[in-house]
Chains A and B, each alone.
Chain A
Amino acid sequence: MKAKKKLFIALAGILLLFTFQILVIPPTASFAGKHPPFYLLNSEGDIINPLTGENADQPYSTYNTCDMCHSYDDIVQGYHFQMGAKSVSDHYSKEQPWVLSDGMFGKF
């Protein structure tokens, strides 16, 4: 009987430690391969719900939708989006004055 009790305490202890370990070190925080479900929002920022028919004939807006959780404004600073538009200036290049930016925008 005594032995059984000891075994139980030992096992319970291990289990407790294990649980505690999970709390301290949570499962890996990186992208697990599945994107969480989210609501689509239209250009007014209203929810689109095709199941209830709410705004269901309107296109979704990436800006409103993704910006709920991701920083849209930061992302669109990337050069695939800006194409140099941010740096357009009449004085961008002295040697080639017709080149106005460091991207294809404002270049010929």
Chain B
Amino acid sequence: MDITVWQWATTGPEGKPTCAGCHPGGGPMEFDRDGQRYDERLTEKPSLSDSLYGDYYGSHWDKSGVLEADCFMCHLSSYSFETRTEQLKNWNLKWASTAASGIGTVEGSIYDVVDNNDPSAEPKVTYNKRLFNEDGKIVLDIKPTVDDNNCMQCHGPADMKKRAFSWHDEVNPDVHSQQGMHCVDCHPAGMDHNFAKGHTTIETLRDDLDNSMRSCKDCHTEGYRGATIPKHVNIPPSHLKDIACETCHIPQKHRAAGQFFDTTHGNLHWDIIGKKEAWGKPEDWYPAYMKFDGKIIPINPIFGIWWGNREKNGIVYPLFARELAAAWGIYGSRVTDDNGDGFAEVNKREEIRLGLKAVETVLHKSSRFEQVHAVFIKGDKAWEFNQDSLLVGKWDPVCKGRGFSISHNVAPAEMALGANGCPDCHGYNGEFFKRTYIVDPYDENGNQVIAPVRKTIGISDYSYNLCAIHFPLIRPYMGIVLIIIFFVTTLHFTSFGPHDFGGRPLHPRSDDYERIDRFNLFERLTHLFVLFTFIFLALTGLAFAYRGGGRFLELFFGNTVTPRVWHGWLGFVFGIGVLFMLLQWWRDAMLIPSDKEWVRNFGGYLGGHDPVPADRFNAGQKVYFWTVIIGGIALLLSGTVLFFREHLPLNLVFTCIFIHYIAALFGVSGVLSHVYLSTGANPGTFPAIFVGKVTKLWARRHHPLWYEKITGKPASGSSDHQNQNHSDESK
């Protein structure tokens, strides 16, 4: 931070409110880096304060005392942080706790004693006698735990990142806070005083304690303290695995946060969401996302525009604020404010060039680095001079986007993303993927460059659109298509009745009711496998497609995971069955010239009195066959991708979701028509695929060419008569 411990403990830089107003003392506020107490060591050796020893330089520990850990900051709800800051500004370090806890009042100021040479200003305590028993012992309402208010005194204002200030906040509510939960309920600590913490994507802070806090799962899987146990029946399990709870359950934030900062002028210039003058002001905004620890988490993207020096070892070191301020002094007057926000930003190539040169001039004055090579990091580019002294800006690992993870302000479940179905995220208006983040706050013209958040998790425009399109175009119509097919087939049946060619009997023959083989056992078994798996796949698939389908699945399977697992495995059985069908029937399904006539007559389905030419399969069946084959293979391939979705790129998965739904829609409608045609529409057909045999009469009627092929007799015409006459005679 470029400040001494003394500055840290007393005024802080530029006389701003002291850091120690929140830092609770103890540790480095008490002992120097050699483990000695500052006050004792400086009293022994006063010359240290004139030395360059950073722990003592310019300090007055001998008079101020040190900051011992102030237990009351947390354990006393009446603690006054203002009084503490007041005391610290007066350098009354060892008096701070006595005054701020309200045990006594403190008059005097070490600052006056030292700086104004006024010995009479030596601080004096007047204790609040009402707090003491007759025996001189103090009675205090010391809390075993910590009040939220005590936590928030520090984690509220200073913390633009974790935003504890929005805990117990009406503008930015959280269901847990509304239920009366407290900070320490999720962030408990034992006697070791190491509070359980979450993780941060930006900083390193006791990473060994990461995720030690009580997680959503800890309470919501066991119902701890009455936590609801969500079933997520309508959420695909893959989502629960890949997406953090917070991502869906914190759909929106309502207080402005920082989005980027710029150190160019030698101080921290913050840019706040909604162009607010300070973070914490009411402002609605949507979190962005990033992949962290294998899960998609919601973040407040925060990135820095900063200057560094590329050392010999290739590492880019950030620079001190004072170095940047010095450099700005050299070139700042030549930098213009292009976007008119009152902050002159370095964005044009010429400005970057000036800046890099100025920074190098400043760095050359110190021997801090072995090699002086300035780098300017802005957005997704690092700018520096190459070997030929030409300015180049390109992506570098130091540009890695940063975001602060979001975990407070959990919304009621009904407001979570996905509560209104998949389109909440995947549809055309799905905000999840539509949200944007700032790639570069100011390009060469001073304009903000933004990109959709989905880019950060590798989802391209085309796959996003494919996935989005299937919500308005396919899913809503699945049910409707099914209903239409039912309606049309029923209508057809009512209008034309069973497909018996106008009811005109063929000339009967004596062997008409003899049976002939139509499908062998293997063919029938293949069909049966495909039939059964299809019914399962279609029903469960439909349930996956519809919001509320989860309830249907629960009804049959008790949960929503089992049917998904089975859908995957049975999908392979179905796919293999389809491949077998291809092998056994492809020859019979090749189109032949006479199929034209069948088509011309609409297969006789719209009336007509004579059997239309048809081989083993008629033209309609052939078209249906190839539809099933193509659709089945499409389902098999896309399904295989979905089966292994965890290991495959999201773009491919999204594309396959689209293909799977299209193929399923065609498949289901095709099969429904197929069922009608093989039952009601054509009496006598249905047993063929199960028993394997049909009557000769049926064969003559429906597949005359096939009949002729296997019996060697004509299906109609003279031989009919001969046979008929013959049988008449024999009567």
Q: Is A10 an interface residue (CB 8 A)?
A: no
Cα of A85 to Cα of B9 in the assembled complex, Å: 14
Q: Which residue of B lies closest to A97 (CB)?
A: B315
Cα of A51 to Cα of B139 in the assembled complex, Å: 14
Q: Is A66 an interface residue (CB 8 A)?
A: yes
Which one of B128-136, B167-175, B292-300, B646-654 is at the interface? B128-136
Q: Which residue of A lies closest to B87 (CB)?
A: A59
Chain B residues lying within 8 Å of A74, measured Cβ to Cβ, are: 191-192
- B162-201 CB mask vs A (1 if < 8 Å, else 0) is 0000000000000000000000000001011111000000
Q: Which residue of B lies closest to A87 (CB)?
A: B206
Which one of A49, A97, A108 lies within 8 Å of B136 (CB-CB)?
Answer: A49
Chain B residues lying within 8 Å of A59, measured Cβ to Cβ, are: 65, 94-95, 97-98, 104, 106, 123, 125
Q: Is the CB of B193 within 8 A of A78?
A: yes
Q: Is the CB of A77 within 8 A of B133?
A: no
Q: A76-B27, A88-B33, A102-B207 are in contact. Are A38 and B137 (CB under 8 A)?
A: yes
Q: Is the CB of B103 within 8 A of A81?
A: no
Q: Is B415 an interface residue (CB 8 A)?
A: no
Q: A43-B94, A88-B33, A103-B205 are in contact. Are A76 and B137 (CB under 8 A)?
A: no
Q: Is the CB of A62 within 8 A of B71?
A: yes
Q: Which residue of B lies closest to A66 (CB)?
A: B71
For the A-B complex, the count of residue pairs with Cβ-Cβ distances under 8 Å equals 143
Question: How many residues on the B side are at the interface (Cβ–Cβ under 8 A)?
Answer: 59
Cα of A80 to Cα of B381 in the assembled complex, Å: 36
Q: Is the CB of A57 within 8 A of B132?
A: no
Which one of A31, A80, A93 lies within 8 Å of B193 (CB-CB)?
Answer: A80
Q: Is the CB of A79 within 8 A of B134?
A: no
Q: Is A86 an interface residue (CB 8 A)?
A: yes
Chain A residues lying within 8 Å of B320, measured Cβ to Cβ, are: 108
Chain B residues lying within 8 Å of A83, measured Cβ to Cβ, are: 23, 27-28
Q: Is B223 an interface residue (CB 8 A)?
A: no
Chain A residues lying within 8 Å of B30, measured Cβ to Cβ, are: 63, 76
Q: Is the CB of A75 within 8 A of B204?
A: no
* Chain A: minimal CB distance from B697 (Å): 84
Chain A residues lying within 8 Å of B207, measured Cβ to Cβ, are: 102
Which one of B140-148, B472-480, B520-528 is at the interface? B140-148
Which one of B2, B25, B126, B191 lies within 8 Å of A81 (CB-CB)?
Answer: B25
Q: Is the CB of B317 within 8 A of A98?
A: yes
Q: A40-B103, A60-B98, A98-B317 are in contact. Are A54 and B206 (CB under 8 A)?
A: no
Chain A residues lying within 8 Å of B458, measured Cβ to Cβ, are: none
Chain A residues lying within 8 Å of B70, measured Cβ to Cβ, are: 62
Q: Is A35 an interface residue (CB 8 A)?
A: yes
Q: Which of A58, A62, A79, A96 is most buried by chain B, counting CB atoms within 10 A of its CB?
A: A62
Cα of A62 to Cα of B140 in the assembled complex, Å: 14
Q: Is the CB of B205 within 8 A of A102?
A: yes
* Chain A: minimal CB distance from B23 (Å): 7
Q: Is B450 an interface residue (CB 8 A)?
A: no
Q: Is B237 an interface residue (CB 8 A)?
A: no
Chain A residues lying within 8 Å of B125, measured Cβ to Cβ, are: 56-59
Cα of A59 to Cα of B28 in the assembled complex, Å: 21
Q: Is the CB of A86 within 8 A of B27?
A: yes
Near A by CB (< 8 A), chain B positions 194-238 give: 194-195, 203-209
Q: Is B412 an interface residue (CB 8 A)?
A: no
Chain B residues lying within 8 Å of A37, measured Cβ to Cβ, are: 133, 135, 137-139
Which one of B28, B139, B142 lies within 8 Å of A85 (CB-CB)?
Answer: B28
Near A by CB (< 8 A), chain B positions 414-454 give: none
* Chain B: minimal CB distance from A107 (Å): 8
Q: Is B24 an interface residue (CB 8 A)?
A: yes
* Chain A: minimal CB distance from B190 (Å): 10
Q: Is the CB of B65 within 8 A of A52?
A: no
Q: A60-B97, A79-B194, A81-B69 are in contact. Are A102 and B136 (CB under 8 A)?
A: no
Q: Is B124 an interface residue (CB 8 A)?
A: yes
Chain B residues lying within 8 Å of A40, measured Cβ to Cβ, are: 103, 138
Q: Which residue of A lies closest to B101 (CB)?
A: A60
Cα of A102 to Cα of B128 in the assembled complex, Å: 41
Q: Is A20 an interface residue (CB 8 A)?
A: no
Q: Is the CB of B144 within 8 A of A78?
A: no
Q: Is A18 an interface residue (CB 8 A)?
A: no
Q: Is the CB of A75 within 8 A of B27?
A: no
Cα of A66 to Cα of B72 in the assembled complex, Å: 11
Q: Is B720 an interface residue (CB 8 A)?
A: no
Q: Is A50 an interface residue (CB 8 A)?
A: yes
The 10 closest A-B CB pairs, nearest first, are A78-B193, A49-B136, A81-B26, A50-B127, A37-B137, A76-B26, A85-B28, A35-B142, A59-B98, A82-B27
9 contacts between A and B (CB under 8 A): A35-B139, A43-B65, A59-B94, A59-B97, A62-B97, A66-B71, A81-B25, A99-B204, A102-B207
B residues touching A (Cβ–Cβ < 8 Å)?
A: 1-2, 23-30, 33, 65, 68-71, 94-95, 97-98, 103-104, 106, 123-129, 132-142, 144, 189, 191-195, 203-209, 315, 317-318, 320
